[in-house]
Structure 1
Amino acid sequence: MKAAALLLAGSMALAACASDEDTSSGSGGGSGESSAASGDLQIGLAYDTGGRGDKSFNDSAYAGVEAAIGDLGGEVTELSPNADGSNRVDLLTQLADDGNNPVIAVGFAFADALAEVAPQYPDTEFAIVDQSVADMGLDNATGLLFAANEGSFLGGVAAALKSESGHIGFVGGVETTLIQEFEAGFVAGAQAAKPGIVIDRQYISAAGDFSGFADPARGKILAQGMFQAGADIVYHAAGGSGQGVFEAAAEAGGRAIGVDSDQYETVGDPALQAVIMTSVLKRVDVAIQTFITDYSEGSVEGGSDVVNDLESDGVGLSTSGGQIDDIKTQLDDYTQQIISGDIEVPTTP
């Protein structure tokens, strides 16, 4: 089902706030302290690979929790998986055992862990980002999904229209079905805006190896190869590894497209900020804030998914820095064609 209209005001500020917070939650599974005043809500947050501080996916999730706490009160306990992600069941179990409710798993890699843990805690509401729960038989879980292909389509349009060389690139973190949706949308958008454009595509790690989301050195190497081959804009869907893509762009005199958060605002380094042309927003922060608010009001419908797409403003492009202001008319036109159904964006490359 489609989400109700999301409250998007302040999204940029929330993402920036997340990047400024302490990132002491370790990769071994330690809990973080809440920065909010104590209240009735006890929120458990289990991060994806790399934990908080990635200036992207995980930080966006944290920003959503902090925004909810700012409105409703409460506190959050944060846990991060170990390097190989083998303790995901332990993380969800610990959060539920400690009385957190709701418990939010950030990333599809928690799917198997959720299927094992949620039935053991029927009075705890769970949510998982980027994973459908519709066919999992879990009455106490909600899937928070995003039409990443639609946002990426607009990113592809922007890259094609702004490219001077007619050559762009895509760096994916892990070669999974989800990240392939980013690739598929990006390629389709670029080809729609500029037929014949050259598009390099590479992944940092293979399916099952989630290190690709936390390997900026490898991300930089792949992006460097693309810039050396003639690309002038590279889009990453690689979590914390995107930092390396930005560094490669800065060194090559090229530009880059960020993902999930408004990375122009979160990257921190002015030299890297200057190369971020736009970011494909996947408003994890707003989706999580909305879920927590619904939970507090008793209106969560477990066992179902909430899809955040262009129509609900759940995905889109950031405009910080003004580098895509001159193509706003074209982007708006493609957006309306997608919403109306005139353009059907593919989900597979």
Structure 2
Amino acid sequence: MRRLSSTSRNSRTSRTSRATTHLTAAVAVLALAAAGCGKTSNEASQEDGGKENGPAGSSYKGKGIGLAYDIGGQGDQSFNDAAYAGYKKARDEFKIGGVDMEPGDGESSADKIQRLEQLARQGYDPVIGVGFVYAPAVEAAAKKFPKTTFGIIDDNTVKADNVADLVFHEEQGSYLAGVAAAKASKAEHVGFVGGVDIPLIHKFEAGFVQGVKSVDPKIKIEKRYLTEKPEEGGFSSPDKGQNAASGQIESGADVIYHAAGLSGQGVIQEAGSQKKWAIGVDSDQYKQKALAKYKDYILGSAFKDVGGAVYDLTKSVVEGRPMTGEQRYDLKSGRVGFSDSNPKYTAMKDVVAAVEKAEKDIVSGKVKVKIVP
């Protein structure tokens, strides 16, 4: 089994506990305003970490990574935190600066465009939008700054010579989650909670359902989407996730898989409090500090290595060979999989064996995983 390195970071339990994050945001504002305040590039670089412009001998001239978070922001213990892990690894390894920025409440596409353009204008390279909602912004900014490399995660619609579309076979990891859920369920009744009713999350559902049915077609599957649109809080409302999980458990489900970002914390908390299995997503959620109280009930996580994609793109830019076009990660690449950190999971030999077999069958092409429910 492939293991996912920890991508955890302390949850934003209060504004005070996120002082470091706010300092980063403040630095971002200062750096982005540098031109207007008459600051030199060197001064701005010192503000965002005092990093050098790349490793010794590198021709890299950028100021570092510009990272713009998706809905839910940093501290979601899932998608955005995974991106942060790659951002931090790249900064540390390549000795470059960086700015990571939170989304605003109810912000428009124009706000996202302005954010990405400011990052590019100040010399950050690459500039990465975390999430499909950045597609219009990446497209607009890439046209205006053709010498900057842009990346967008979870979208492959932006086509430009200076854009890398960083996408995943989420359905493959979800298939493994479905196999694990079906094998671990004693009630022969499992659940799926999707954050928002959109095609991207449909891939998670499709893979999960197919994985469950591959074990036993008779297993009952509860399905619930929290909202129809992202701006309605489907990815950022733990209370919605908790309510959905409560309803599914009441209906008889004893294993619940979520693909709901920050809302998934509520799913895991509810499942754990009722001593039912939860399956996480994107990051290895067993290792997340904010979920430590419930980790014994996190069977595993269908991960996609968002941090690895952020790192890969940054590495390519620093080395002078920027990635462009669609970069799709799958089980074979190791950037998608099912984490096995929970000792209770590894002790379930039949579950582990079934998941390992399913992984081999997908990689070999024996099993084709659906992307539509």
Task: Tell whether the structures are fold-level matches, with TM greater than 0.5.
Answer: yes
The amino acid of 2:369's aligned partner reads: V
TM-score by length of 2: 0.85
1:161 lines up with 2:183 in the alignment: yes
Give 1:271 deviation, angstroms.
Answer: 2.2
- Give the Å deviation of 1:209: 3.2
For 2:104, what is the secondary structure of its paired residue?
coil
SS where residue 74 of structure 2 aligns? coil
Letter in 1 for 2:320: G
Indicate the residue corresponding to 1:38 in structure 2: 51
Match of 1:341 in 2: 365
Structure 1 counterpart of 2:71, one-letter code: T
Q: Displacement of 1:75 after TM fit?
A: 1.5
Match status 1:319 vs 2:340 = yes
More helix by share: 2
Paired position in structure 2 for 1:109? 133
For 1:19 and 1:287, the matched residues in 2 are separated by 22
Q: Retained in 2: the 8 A contact 1:311–1:339? A: yes
**Structure 1-normalised TM-score?**
0.90
Q: Using a 3 Å threshold, how does the CA distance of structure 1 residues 31 and 345 change in structure 2: closer, same or farther?
A: farther
Equivalent residue, structure 2, for 1:254:
276
Shift in Å at residue 274 of structure 1? Answer: 1.6
Shift, 1:78, TM fit: 1.4
Q: Is the 8 A contact 1:281 1:316 kept in 2?
A: yes
SS at match of 1:188: helix
Task: Give the stretch that moved more between structures: 220-229 or 290-299.
Answer: 290-299
Task: Tell me if the contact between 1:25 and 1:80 (Cα under 8 Å) persists in the aligned partners.
Answer: no
Task: Name the counterpart of 1:227.
Answer: 249
> What are the within-5 Å matches in structure 2 for residues 245-284 of structure 1?
245-284=267-306
1:283-311 deviation line (CA, Å, top 9, x unaligned): 00111111111111122242x11111011
Tell me how far 1:272 sits from its aligned partner: 1.4
> Which residue does 2:320 correspond to in 1?
298
**2:146 pairs with 1:122:** yes
Shift of 1:37: 4.6
Q: 1:242 aligns with which of 253, 257, 264?
A: 264
- Summarize the Cα distance change of 1:123–1:77 in structure 2 as closer, same or farther, 3 Å threshold: same
How far is the alpha carbon of 1:80 from its aligned partner? Answer: 1.7
Code of the residue aligned with 1:38 in structure 2: it is: K
What is the Cα deviation at residue 270 of structure 1? 3.0
Q: Distance in 1 between matches of 2:101 and 2:90?
A: 18
Say whether residues 1:16 and 2:8 are aligned partners: yes
CA distance in 1, matches of 2:230, 2:340: 34
Gaps of 5+ in 2: 32-46, 54-62
Contact residue 36 and residue 70 of structure 1 kept, 8 A: no
Q: Which of 165, 171, 176 in structure 2 is aligned with 1:143?
A: 165
SS in 1 for 2:234: helix
Return the offset for 1:132: 0.7
Is residue 256–residue 275 contact of structure 1 (8 Å, CA) maintained in 2? yes
The answer (yes or no) to whether the contact 1:278–1:323 under 8 Å persists in 2 is no
* Deviation larger for 69-78 or 226-235: 69-78
Match of 2:116 among 92, 111, 128: 92
Q: Shift of the alpha carbon at 1:282?
A: 0.5
Cα RMSD (Å) of the superposition?
2.1
The question of whether the paired residues in 2 share the 8 Å contact of 1:25 and 1:51 is answered with no
CA distance in 1 between counterparts of 2:153 and 2:230 reads 17
Flag structure 1 segments of 5+ consecutive residues without an equivalent: 1-7
Q: Does 1:132 align with 2:156?
A: yes
* 2:73 pairs with 1:81: no
User: Does structure 2 retain, via aligned residues, the 8 Å contact 1:18–1:63?
Assistant: no
Counterparts of 1:31-70 in structure 2 under 5 Å?
A: 37-40=50-53, 41-70=63-92
Q: Equivalences for 1:163-242 in 2 at 5 Å?
A: 163-209=185-231, 211-242=233-264
AA aligned to 2:5 is: M
Count of residues paired in the alignment: 335
Instruction: Give the letter aligned to residue 198 of structure 2.
Output: T
Q: Is the 8 A contact 2:9 2:75 kept in 1?
A: no
In the TM superposition, what whole-angstrom CA distance separates every residue of 1:198-239 from its partner, at most 9, and x where no partner exists?
111111110353521100001100110000110001111000
If you compute each CA radius of gyration, which structure gives the higher value, 1 or 2?
2
CA shift digits 1:123-156 (9 cap, x unpaired): 11000001114xx331110011110000000000
- CA–CA distance in structure 1, aligned partners of residues 302 and 276 of structure 2: 18
Change (3 A) 1:229 1:35: farther
Q: Which amino acid aligns with 2:144?
A: Q
Contact kept, 8 Å, 2:362 with 2:368, in 1: the verdict is: yes
Distance 1:102 1:286, change over 3 A: same
Which contiguous aligned blocks of 4+ residues in structure 1 show a shift greater than 2 angstroms? 16-26, 29-37, 207-210, 267-271
Distance 1:233 1:245, change over 3 A: same
Q: Does 1:286 align with 2:278?
A: no
How far apart in 1 are the matches of 2:26 and 2:130? 16
Identity among equivalent pairs (%):
36
